Amino acid sequence: MDFTKWQGCGNDFVLVDCLQEKIKDYAAFARKVCDRHYGVGADGILVVLPSEKADFCMRIFNTDGSEAEMCGNGIRCFARYLYDNGIAKGTEFTVETGAGILVPKIVTEDGAAKAVCVDMGKPVLAGDEIPVTGFGKGQVVSEPIEVAGKTYAMTCVSMGNPHCVIFVEDIAACGIEHIGALFESHERFPRKTNTEFVEVRDRKHMRMRVWERGAAITLACGTGACATLVAAVLNDKADKKAEIELDGGKLVIEWADNGHIYMTGPAEQVFSGKIEE
């Protein structure tokens, strides 16, 4: 089976074009291929499929075999694959995801792709739609949550997948290695959650680390960066366009006047290869 390996800000994926290939069991395949010792090694797999609703369909599976609704870094890599290989006709097209239909646009310079800008749609802020229990249709902005005996102020956002954003004074001392899993499986989150720990440098710059649901600590999370900007605006900590510095690189996120979130960042192919399913 042919595959390509991609990374966006260090968030890495094995992409399989199932317009050409077939995978019998996506979850089992993801667990095998994502293993960094016995497989290719990745934070997840991206699967290219046909769609009746959009130009293409993207499915993503985490290292533990669970399926994610969406992945911001993943969709940029997905879009670059389609563009670079001449599968997509033009620089802008539609992609069906578990979070709805999204529209990536290839940013070119002198005819070469330099970055991908994705219209990520509107953030979901109603508590029971994120979902976070106990808030009904209300927003979850700077609300208390107790984890490991300590009370944090959480702001929750869905970008098609759930996020819990925690603002901290010192990102180096946030203890993500110890508390990330406790946030992920907290009883407040019936579908678990991704958790972002964020240090605000100024109104246009933030530093973020992420514990991803089903994948643990990763170098970057595109939907998490989008959720971070939304949370920062809701808490009056940032402007509506800012640079988010992740462990693996930087993304520019904008909450535009039309209510949509736009994410711009890199996506690069690392290598291609063959693997037995």
**Catalytic, out of 164, 174, 221, 226:** 221
Integer-rounded Cα Rg, in Å, for the chain is 18
Task: Report yes or no: 269 and 5 within 8 Å, Cβ to Cβ.
Answer: yes
Q: How far apart are CA 222 and CA 226, in angstroms?
A: 6
The strand pair at 11-17 and 44-49 is best described as: parallel
**Does 221 qualify as catalytic in the annotation?**
yes
Q: Which helix (H) or strand (E) holds 78?
A: helix 72-84
**Catalytic, out of 34, 71, 117, 164:** 71
How many other CB atoms are there within 10 angstroms of residue 67's CB atom? 15
The alpha carbon dihedral of 98, 70, 74, 24 has a sign of: negative
Catalytic residues, which ones? 71, 221
